[in-house]
Structure 1
Amino acid sequence: MKDTPLDLSRLMAMDARQAMRLLQRVREASLAGDRPPVAPRPVIGASWQRVRRLGVSPDRQSGRAVLAPEELEHHRRTSALGEVMRGISDGLTGIADASLQILVVCDAQGRVLWREGNTRVLRRADGISLAEGAVWSERMTGTNAIGTALAARVPVQVHSAEHFVRPLTPWTCAAAPVHDPRDGRLLGVVDVSGPASGFHPTTLALVTSVARLAESGLRERHLRAVERLRAVAAPILCRVGGRAVAVDTHGWTAAVTGMAPVDRLPLPKSLRPGRLWLPSLGMCAVEPLPGGWLLTVEEEPPPDAPRRVVLDLSRPRRWSVTVSGAAGSWARELTPRHAELLYVLAARREGRSAAELAADVFGDPTRTVTVRAEMSRVRRHLAGVLAHRPYRFSEEIEVEVVRPAHPADLLPHSTAPAVAADRVRGGCEA
């Protein structure tokens, strides 16, 4: 097997039939456990390994779960992607139609919420259940641009026999994830799919650009909402004695009094009126505002309040950190990158420099700027828990890491060298 894996530009340079035959040989050899003529692309090889572990059959889709009409409508109404669907449609539907392809927009679970495009291709898509309400996660349909982009959290193009399930090999597809700019949460993917004869490597760049435009549209909507909250909160804060802050439902600061402003405060997922302890503020009174919350600080945060941190990595893509102390506890879900960083620091309590963390996470010790930016975001959420120079958990903090039952499921989509090494070793003790 050649060391250099396939890439899209090489496939494009081939005759279409020649490229499809080569991909078919790579797929069949890989699935049979034989030596393929050339290595599959890394993102495809990693996906094939995942779906084999999931027990997906290469000869048929594992299932075609379809939402009932009322469920589909509910998911459309509650998805933030609905707020920017017009922009997505304007950016891609015409191009997809002209190139005999279709636009597909899915939520974070791979459920198809909308699809538009060429009528003839839409009918063909019905034959593989690429229909509104169907689920296109890797667990249901194997390697495909929608499910693989959701699993890997990166833009992905899957062509012909790169699909794991045989009935999908006559298709080509390109998908890019869309994240909520307010909290980094994965909202879903934008996808363009069609017959394999319509393959072109620039499709991925186009889909990625439209996904970024969708995120930009959500960001603009968010900024306008924060401005409206600021207008409501400003006169209220003028009457508050002491320290208080008005935040939106995602913790972004709209107005503040009696304290230094911060961009965002970490809030628990289910916030209610009453009293709440936050690591960065202490005990607060919580009152609702239109579009957000008013947090009034009741006492100075005890300097030794945080005592214990639990880093829970046991649930697939539902990683969280819980901080507890004398005054209470607080929990927050983690992005994939922040889960990687905290895992490395929990496993290496002596601390890591920016260069060492860059090597641990990116395999490149020169990426210190990226590491410092990410650690700055993490430390805003974990005040009093993380120290720096070097980056580390404070010595007085007890840290527990809850790992998945199977070592291979430890941050399974992470390519961080430190995480990959621990997966091979079966995890290391924090």
Structure 2
Amino acid sequence: MMAIRDATAMRAAVADSWHRSAAAGVLAEDSCAPVTVTGDQLRDLRDAHPLARVFPLLDDVLGQAARDCDAIMAVSDEVGQLLWLCGAPSAMRRAERIGFVEGSNWDERLAGTNAPGLALRLGRPTSIVAAEHFRHSVKQWSCAATPIHDPIDSRLLGVLDVTGGDAIVVPQTMGMVRAAARLAESELARELLVPSRPDPGTGRGRIAVECLGRHELLLSVDDGWGQRGQVRLSPRHSEIFLLLASAPRGLSGDELAVLLYEEDGGSSTLRAELKRLRDLLGEDLLVSRPYRITADVTGDWLAVEAQLAAGDVAGAVRAYRGPMLPRSTAPGVTRLREGLADQLRSAVLHSAQPDLLSTWTRSVWGADDYDMWVRLRDLLPTGSPLLALAEGQIGRLDREIGL
């Protein structure tokens, strides 16, 4: 492993990345980044990814510029896997020698210091020039990358990157990359704002709920009479709605209070919250005696449950964007959140599929899951590029808990 001799002369963010790369077990002599998804799995990931809707736009705006300067445009997902590459044929052929190919993973813990991985880590635009790369084989390249975020909830969708030679080491490159990423976010927002064609009124509403990895619910509401829109609920209203959506037969005021408050909550406070929520949704969608949602409710957490029930663990992992309402301390929400997380974790742990275990450990909620790292290590074949990472993370956790 290369000693980090020149860290004092480096930019602080690059030096920190070198240390993280070394601690994760990346070897400076490694020639290629690991390919973590291939074939049908890669195609499924691309088809299901939100950025699939804007990749043609990115290719047209930035991809052509990359071709003109003998460079490559790359788009990764939120865990560093390269989903799309386009660029000059000669640059694409040279990039194959360092593993810069579709399906490879450029998280800095797997590929060492690089712009897509560092942008992913820091959540901001980043450039890495030549010798700043951790691995020797990448030092002939330079790259500029920036995150792309969901325009509704600001969650990270992926990273946009341009990689090439000396020709891209100019300030204008980062400006072009950032402008293309903002254009993609604007296009995603525009699609959400295009009004839907109203259907004939059915008299029964429909509500689609997004709660995984969110601190507040996002509702897509169709009142059944041609009126559609999106509503972002407050944290308290999010808790109430989620509890009612999980109890189709409804809840009495006392039952709802027990699930909502850690201590005895005032009934008048709950009634006031319910009135405000009814005013927001409409009297036809939230009724009382018992309190219940009258609309047909679909939700991202229900989709995960359905996929687990069908034995589709991979689909459930892809659909799971994080714990539901992670900041909520409401007893009923805590029970729902922990129940779904435990069910999914158990399915992944017993799946014996290294790619699923690796996806879990690369997430925020799974990064310190000791049992998952051990299971991943035990399943990886000798020589796997992920083996050093698993060993390094197990060692880190052992040190942190004093083993």
Per the shorter chain, which TM-score range?
0.5 to 0.7
| Aligned twin of 2:126 | 156
Q: 1:222 aligns with which of 177, 184, 192?
A: 192
Q: 1:246 aligns with which of 184, 207, 218?
A: 207
What is the rounded CA distance, in whole Å, between the counterparts of 1:137 and 1:176 in structure 2? 14
SS of equivalent to 2:262: strand
State how 1:84-163 maps to structure 2 within 5 Å.
Answer: 84-163=54-133
Gaps of 5+ in 1: 1-27, 268-276, 288-294, 309-316, 333-401, 407-425
**Maintained 8 Å contact 1:61/1:142:** no
TM-score normalised by length of structure 2: 0.57
SS of equivalent to 2:16: helix
- 1:69 deviates by 1.9
**Maintained 8 Å contact 2:143/2:168:** no
Are residues 55 and 299 of structure 1, via their aligned partners in 2, closer, same or farther at CA, if it must alter by over 3 Å? same
User: Residues 216-273 of structure 1: CA distance to partner in whole angstroms, max 9, x if unpaired?
Assistant: 111122233xx439x4697636xx8xxxx8345464344498xxx9931489xxxxxx
Q: Which has the higher helix share?
A: 2
SS of equivalent to 1:59: coil
What is the rounded CA distance, in whole Å, between the counterparts of 2:104 and 2:335 in structure 1? 39
Are residues 329 and 304 of structure 1, via their aligned partners in 2, closer, same or farther at CA, if it must alter by over 3 Å? closer
- 1:327 deviates by 8.1
SS of equivalent to 2:207: strand
User: Residues 361-400 of structure 1: CA distance to partner in whole angstroms, max 9, x if unpaired?
Assistant: xxxxxxxxxxxxxxxxxxxxxxxxxxxxxxxxxxxxxxxx
- Cα RMSD between the aligned structures? 4.0
| Aligned twin of 2:14 | 44
SS of equivalent to 2:330: strand
| Aligned twin of 2:260 | 305
Q: Output the amino acid matched with 1:129.
A: G
What is the rounded CA distance, in whole Å, between the counterparts of 2:81 and 2:367 in structure 1? 28
What is the rounded CA distance, in whole Å, between the counterparts of 1:281 and 1:197 in structure 2? 54
* TM superposition outliers: structure 1 runs of 4+ over 3 Å: 31-36, 231-237, 245-251, 253-257, 280-283, 295-301, 317-322, 326-332, 402-406
What is the rounded CA distance, in whole Å, between the counterparts of 1:147 and 1:327 in structure 2? 34
Q: Output the amino acid matched with 2:184.
A: A
Q: Which has the higher contact order (CA 8 A, sep 6+)?
A: 2
SS of equivalent to 2:203: helix
**Maintained 8 Å contact 2:239/2:333:** no
What is the rounded CA distance, in whole Å, between the counterparts of 2:131 and 2:64 in structure 1? 27
Gaps of 5+ in 2: 212-216, 224-228, 264-320, 339-365, 371-399
State how 1:254-293 maps to structure 2 within 5 Å.
Answer: 254-255=220-221, 263-265=231-233, 279-281=239-241, 283-285=243-245
Q: Output the amino acid matched with 2:239.
A: P
Are residues 135 and 256 of structure 1, via their aligned partners in 2, closer, same or farther at CA, if it must alter by over 3 Å? closer
- 1:192 deviates by 0.5
**Maintained 8 Å contact 1:63/1:141:** yes
SS of equivalent to 2:113: coil
| Aligned twin of 1:393 | none
What is the rounded CA distance, in whole Å, between the counterparts of 1:325 and 1:249 in structure 2? 20
**Maintained 8 Å contact 1:104/1:191:** yes
State how 1:366-385 maps to structure 2 within 5 Å.
Answer: none
Q: Which has the higher strand share?
A: 1
1:236 aligns to 2:206 (yes or no): no
1:188 aligns to 2:158 (yes or no): yes
**Maintained 8 Å contact 1:233/1:246:** no
Q: Output the amino acid matched with 2:171.
A: P
What is the rounded CA distance, in whole Å, between the counterparts of 1:35 and 1:102 in structure 2? 29
| Aligned twin of 2:53 | 83
Are residues 115 and 321 of structure 1, via their aligned partners in 2, closer, same or farther at CA, if it must alter by over 3 Å? same
What is the rounded CA distance, in whole Å, between the counterparts of 1:327 and 1:190 in structure 2? 36
The percent of aligned pairs where both chains have the same amino acid is: 27
